[in-house]
Homo-oligomer: A and B are copies of this chain.
Amino acid sequence: SFLGFSVVSAADPLPSWNDGKTKQSVIAFVEKVTKEGSPEFVPADRRIATFDNDGTLWAEQPLYFQLIYAIDKVKEMAPQHPEWKKKEPFASIIRGDTGKALAGGKPALIQLLAATHSGMTGEEFQGSVRKWLATARHPVTNKLYTEMVYQPMLELLSYLRANGFKTFIVSGGGIDFLRAFAEDTYGIPPEQVVGSSLKARYEVRDGKPVIVKLPEVNLIDDKAGKPVGIYQHIGRRPIFAAGNSDGDFEMLQWTTAGGGPRFGLLVHHTDPKREWAYDRDSPIGRLDKALEAAPKEGWTVVDMKDDWKVIFPWGNR
């Protein structure tokens, strides 16, 4: 190119993606559905794109960040709960033995979440999450958790929005937790965040109306719960869905089984040096069934090592 820079790359909407089949398939899809008059044109109001969060938009190792929040919160709340010293999973967390706390499995997890995610108002909870996100540091990179986002995925979100897509998060994570940072971090407003949720109650406390988070599950927005969450919140089928684990299988299946052009994207964690490498055997972000299904279903698999020039906005770990 003339004078040593490329006019094409200056206009590249996905500069952190390496040239190749993956990037080309994303761009070809967007160009096809936005080309007026073409048989595959999709009107802007139907350009719904849904993104998983953990492992798709931000990292999820060594533990889901929301779980790290809950653990930090237990430590912070411990002085007000002397009874926790003799009660699992709290006792192990207070002693600093996270492994033992989580060995209690789902019942332990539910106790942990009930203690740290309910009983307060929605505004109090979000305030607590925002405060944590402003200062807590990732145990491996020492970055803020909101810096642990994938630069190529931020570019993909912007690229889709620039082409008339409405972007949503559809995550197994807690809806209130996500809403505390999704707008600043991803440009996704609260009303475009779908997540797991607790039931809530409206009440007037000391003359002031509040929403109180109850210790009772409303929706588990994971696996078959994802299409249900999409149906309840969005009310129409996405034409584009991105995930990274078997928890996204049904969302991708539901999305790509619709008529007309559809796109399913799986982020495969293949880079042990710059991020982490894991799939079939990982307790976090297990990717097995969906990876197996991808070629047959026509889903595009992102190979993080080969397809992404850079992982995080600040570089690589």
List A residues at the B interface (Cβ < 8 Å). 45, 48, 122, 166, 168, 175-176, 179, 183, 189-193, 197, 200-204, 208-209, 211, 218, 224-228, 231-236, 250, 253-254, 257
Contact = CB atoms under 8 A, between A and B. Distances in A.
Contacts of A209: 227, 250, 253-254, 257
Given A236-B190, A253-B209, A257-B209, A122 B227 contact: no
B236 A175 contact: no
A45 B183 contact: yes
Given A183-B45, A208-B257, A253-B209, A231 B200 contact: yes
A215 to B, nearest CB: 15
B235 A233 contact: no
B227 A211 contact: yes
Nearest to A227: B202
Given A208-B257, A211-B227, A191 B233 contact: yes
Contacts of A225: 202
5 contacts: A45-B189, A190-B235, A200-B232, A211-B227, A211-B231
A84 B118 CA distance: 45
A235 B202 contact: no
A127 to B, nearest CB: 14
A254 B183 contact: no
Given A211-B227, A227-B209, A227-B211, A232 B218 contact: yes
A232 B125 CA distance: 14
Contacts of A193: 235
Contact of A228 (B211, B224, B250, B254): B211
Contact of A232 (B168, B197, B204): B197
A251 B179 CA distance: 21
A19 B226 CA distance: 49
Contact of A202 (B45, B201, B228): B228
Contacts of A192: 191
A225 B193 CA distance: 20
Contact of A235 (B175, B208, B250): B175
B224 A122 contact: no
A2 B201 CA distance: 58
Nearest to A218: B232
The 4 closest A-B pairs by CB, nearest first: A190-B235, A202-B224, A202-B227, A191-B234
Given A203-B224, A204-B253, 5 more contacts: A45-B183, A190-B236, A191-B234, A200-B231, A208-B257
Nearest to A255: B209
A235 B191 contact: yes
Between A190, A203, A225, A253, the greatest number of chain B beta carbons within 10 A of the residue's beta carbon is seen for A190
Contacts of A183: 45
A48 B166 CA distance: 17
Contact of A122 (B175, B201, B231, B250): B231
